[in-house]
Structure formats: structure tokens, C-alpha cells
Structure 1
Amino acid sequence: MNKRKRHVADVALKLFVEKGIQQTSIQDIIDRAAISKGTFYNYFSSKNDCIAEILEGLRYDASQLRMQIQVGKKEKDQQILAQQIYSIIQLNEERSLYALFDAILSSNEIDLKKLVMQHRIFELEWLAIRFISVFGEEISENAFESAILFHGMLQHLLFTKRVTNATFSLHRIVAVLLQYIGLIIPYMLQHNTSLIEPASVHLMRMNIDRKPVELSELMKMAKNIEEEENFTMEQEDLYEAIISELNKERVRKSVLQPLLNPFLTSFDDTSSKGQVQTFINAIWFYLKLK
């Protein structure tokens, strides 16, 4: 984003925080930024497009800030991770972004809600990757859930801090929550208490992205399962019935849907369960959009 375009986006962000998204008109942005209407539409096709650019700019700023903090430091250093998290929270607080996000999520703007949800997924994925760097590769399957737990605790503590004017610092909040996560993760691994399966995370991403699932994608998933798993007779019968129905010109949902759960449960206690779960989730999403 060039400097002038970024200036207009920054002006728009301040107006959205001050007045609210619905109450801020494009003319308000034009007047405050001291630009012409033609200049605004040269940069953005709509107010929603402007908000999309704002969120993209925020992700860019966050990534640059995190990289600056990381340069020359060890990835496993928990204090560096704490500093990265703290710096982004401080940036968001300074720009009143939490209020903006809350306003969007409580609005009727479906496209804007999707943008905020995508933004949050990006943040969770970044934190999950950093948790793996700090706590080790063995937590890979639990990293995303750990990121969700961290953010959940963080958001409620920040809310409490705002409404009570509590004196505890952001540094202390982040440091203590990372200590909590460091205790939770070994428990999750030892007792297998994870609540969110990798397939569920995949389905969440699909729902947020709203990218239609193509039949070719389903067939590729199915082929991978077939090649990697020695089917029992029951599994083979269910598999062939599912594939046959998917390939029909008019997919009969009433026929296909009852086949999905029995096929999935037939893989209980096998190493392919997660892969099959992802396949089944993709089929449900495919049927939902047809």
C-alpha cells in the first residue's frame, strides 16, 4: 500500500473508531483526508474495500513488528514470544482495534464479519506456529487449540482490565498466560484431552473462507484415503457408494448423507481417522453449497 493510500486508510480507521462504521460515510473520509472523491475510488471500490485494506495493513504492520523483535533471537526463547505478543496487543490497544472488531461482529455486515474472522484465524495460526517453535514439534496437533485457549484467556483478562481499571500490566498478563499454557500443553499431551480435532480446524477455515469445495478436490481426498488405507469390506462398500453418489449429475443428499457417519465411525481407533474426518467435513460443506 503506497503512502497516500495508507494515509487515507489510517484516516478512515480513526473515523470508524470515533463514529462507528455505519455512521461514517465515504464523504466523511474524503473530507477528513482532504482528498477528492476520484482519489478515494482510485484507491478503494467501497467502504468495505477500505476496511479490507485496513485489516491487510494491520497484518502487515504486525508481521513487520514481530520480525523486528525476532531478528537475531532464538525461536525457542519464550521471552521473545512474550514480547511479540505484548507489542501487538499494545498496537491494537493504541488504535482501539478491539472496539472496531466488536462493532463489526455485532453488525449485520456479513462480508465485514468474514474479514474480521479471517484476521483472527491468521492471528491464531501465527501463534500456533510460534507455540510449536517454543514448546516443540510434539505439540503440533495441540498447537491451534492452545492458541485458542491463550487468546480466550487474554481477551477476558483485557476486558476485565478495561472495565475495572486494574493495575496489572500487559507484560505480566502475557507472561503469566504463557506460563499457564506451558502447564496446560503437557497435560493435554499426557491425558489426550484435546477438544478440537485438526479436521474441525480445517472445516472452520473452509467456513470462513467460503471457497466452494470442488468435486475434483473431494475425489483427490478420496483417492488419498483409498491409497493409504486397507479397507475392510464394510469400508469399501461405503466408500464406493459415497463416490458413486458424488459422481452423479444430481447428487441425492437423502442417499449420500446417511452414508457419511457410518463411513467415518468405521475408522475409529485408526491412524486415518483425522484424514477421513476432513474428507467427510468437506463433503458436508460441498452439499451445503449445492
Structure 2
Amino acid sequence: MNERKQHVLNAAKRLFLENGFANTSIQNILDEAGISKGTFYNYFNSKNECLISIIEESTGTASVLREELAADGPDGPEVLVEQILVRLRMNREQKLIRLYEAILHSGDPELRDYMKSVHLSELAWLEQRLTEVYGEQFRPYAADAALMEFGMLGQYLQFAPDITSSEELSKRIRFVIRRTEALLRDMAENDEHLLEAGQFDLRADSPSLPAPGRVAEEMLRLAETLPHESRGTGREFAGFLSTELKSEKPRASLMQSIAVPFRKLFDGLPNEPEARTVMSALWRLLKSSNLK
């Protein structure tokens, strides 16, 4: 995502939050961003697509931060707590809940189908993480556990919407995760489940994997945009990652350890969102069977 497109998204998001999605026209966005209609349609086919891009930017950022948390050290329930907290904080800080509500109340089939795919993708992610945290033997029961955990957490947060501190949110997440673990172990002990493993993944509208060569090129290009004092380090990181991506047997674990510091070189820079987008594509490749 280039800086100009990011500027348009920021302008549209301000208007959607201030005036509501339904009350914001494309002309309003053009005026707020100071762009022509042609420029808008160069980036988006419709107002719906603009809104979807805003949400995708957030989910992509959350995905990168979650992967970085898991790459920092030993996995376990506490990592899962922090990963869930990342998404909750982002939803609240960026006021995304209001955008989600606008979609649910819009009645627009395209937007509602998109939000359904986002919800299913989140459940698929949680199902996989429960299996990774507690062990492969729990995979047959992880889909049910993910659905129950998602529901429990949602109800606890809805019951106390004024709670915003990370400490209080973490407390509730830990409580729900402990209850989920107990349910997961009970289902395994009784060999009882309703949902089939991987059911959410099959129903979620997941985009196709990016081309490794394209991601490698984007990382090398991004490294050249870094300030002089960090450009050498960025070139070194990007060079290593791109070489591994193009090799016959990429070393995924080593790439994970380099991906985190490389992405952080862009913190606070104008093209930080673009860097997160590229690194989100890299993490998707790292998580795929193609690079394992």
C-alpha cells in the first residue's frame, strides 16, 4: 500500500467514523482527501471496497503483530493471551467496532459476506492456535473450543464495554482461556465434539498465497526506502529473507527471527503501513506448508 492510497483510506475512515458509512458519499471522500474521482477509482472499485480495505489493513497489522509475538520465544497460553489482546486493543483504539456495526446494520450482502469471512478466519486462527498451544492430540476438539472461547470472551467484553486497560482486558482473556482449556480437556477425555477439525478454514474466504518472488522483491525495494542510518541493516535483513524465499529449502525458523527486526525498522516511518502489508504476506508464506 503506497502513501497516497493510505492517505485516502485515512480520510475515508475519518468520515465513516464521524458521519457514518451510509451518510458518507464518494464525493465526501474526494473532498476530504483532496483527490479526483479518477484517483479514487484507481485504488477502489466502490465505497464498499474502500471500507473493506480499511478493515483489511487492521486485520493484516494484527496478524503481523501476532506472528511476531509467537516468534519471540516459547509458545504457550500466555502468548495466546497477548495475541488476542493485540486484536482487542486494535479494535478499540481504531474504533473498528463502529465500522463492524455499520456493516452489520447496512444490509449490504457484499459487506455482510465479507464480515462473515473475517469472523470465520478469526475462528480458524483460534482453532489452529489452540492446537499449537495445547498439543496435536486436541486437534479434533479445537474447533468447538474455539467457538466457545470466542463466544465467552465476546460476552464478557460486551458486559463490561467500558474496560479498556490492557491489564483488565488480559485478566478476562486469561480467565476465558483457562475455562477453554478445561473444556478442551473434558472433550478429549470423553471423545466428544460437534464440529469437524478445519471446518472454519474450509468456509472462510481465504485469499490465495502471494508469490514468494514478488514478496522478495517488495522487501528489497522497501529496504532502499529506509533512512541512511538503518538502510544498511535493512538491506542485510531483506537480502537474507529474499534469498531464503527463493531457495529450494527455505529455513522458516531463521526467517521468522529476521522478519521481526526487519519490520520494526519501519516503525514511525511514512511507509510503515506498506511495510506491514508486505510482512503480512511474508508471514502467510511462513505459516503455509510451502515453506515448512
Alignment TM-score > 0.5, same fold: yes
Q: Against the structure 1 CA distance between its residues 17 and 193, is the aligned structure 2 distance closer, same or farther, given a 3 Å change threshold?
A: farther
Matched residue, 2:66: 66
Secondary structure of the 1:93 match is: helix
Matched residue, 1:188: 187
Give the residue type in structure 1 aligned to 2:70: Q
| Matched-pair contact (CA < 8 Å) for 2:69–2:82 | yes
User: What is the Cα deviation at residue 125 of structure 1?
Assistant: 1.1
Give the residue type in structure 2 aligned to 1:161: A
Identity between Structure 1 and Structure 2 (%):
34
Q: Within 5 Å, give how 1:131-280 maps onto structure 2.
A: 131-162=130-161, 169-198=168-197, 201=200, 205=203
C-alpha distance in 2 between matches for 1:175 and 1:198: 24
Matched residue, 2:6: 6
Q: Against the structure 1 CA distance between its residues 14 and 143, is the aligned structure 2 distance closer, same or farther, given a 3 Å change threshold?
A: farther
Q: Can you give the 5+ residue segments of structure 1 that lack an aligned partner in the other structure?
A: 210-290
Per-residue CA deviation, residues 2-61 of structure 1 (Å, 9 max, x unaligned), is: 222122223222322222211111112122222222211111111011122223212211
C-alpha distance in 2 between matches for 1:58 and 1:16: 15
C-alpha distance in 1 between matches for 2:200 and 2:71: 30
C-alpha distance in 1 between matches for 2:113 and 2:200: 16
Q: Can you give the 5+ residue segments of structure 2 that lack an aligned partner in the other structure?
A: 207-292
Matched residue, 1:130: 129
C-alpha distance in 2 between matches for 1:180 and 1:68: 26
User: What is the Cα deviation at residue 197 of structure 1?
Assistant: 3.4
Give the residue type in structure 2 aligned to 1:14: R
Instruction: Give the number of aligned pairs.
Output: 205
Matched residue, 1:257: none
| Matched-pair contact (CA < 8 Å) for 1:145–1:196 | yes
C-alpha distance in 2 between matches for 1:47 and 1:21: 9
User: What is the Cα deviation at residue 166 of structure 1?
Assistant: 9.2
| Matched-pair contact (CA < 8 Å) for 1:55–1:119 | no
Secondary structure of the 2:121 match is: helix
| Matched-pair contact (CA < 8 Å) for 1:104–1:113 | yes
Q: Against the structure 1 CA distance between its residues 143 and 199, is the aligned structure 2 distance closer, same or farther, given a 3 Å change threshold?
A: closer
C-alpha distance in 2 between matches for 1:73 and 1:84: 13
Matched residue, 1:277: none
C-alpha distance in 1 between matches for 2:93 and 2:73: 26
Matched residue, 1:82: 81
| Matched-pair contact (CA < 8 Å) for 2:121–2:201 | no
User: What is the Cα deviation at residue 202 of structure 1?
Assistant: 7.0
User: What is the Cα deviation at residue 200 of structure 1?
Assistant: 6.0
Relative CO higher for 1 or 2, CA cutoff 8 Å, sep ≥ 6? 2
Q: Against the structure 1 CA distance between its residues 87 and 50, is the aligned structure 2 distance closer, same or farther, given a 3 Å change threshold?
A: same
| Matched-pair contact (CA < 8 Å) for 2:152–2:176 | yes
Per-residue CA deviation, residues 191-224 of structure 1 (Å, 9 max, x unaligned), is: 2332323486577x17x78xxxxxxxxxxxxxxx
Q: TM-score, normalised by structure 2?
A: 0.64
Q: Against the structure 1 CA distance between its residues 201 and 62, is the aligned structure 2 distance closer, same or farther, given a 3 Å change threshold?
A: closer
C-alpha distance in 2 between matches for 1:4 and 1:25: 19
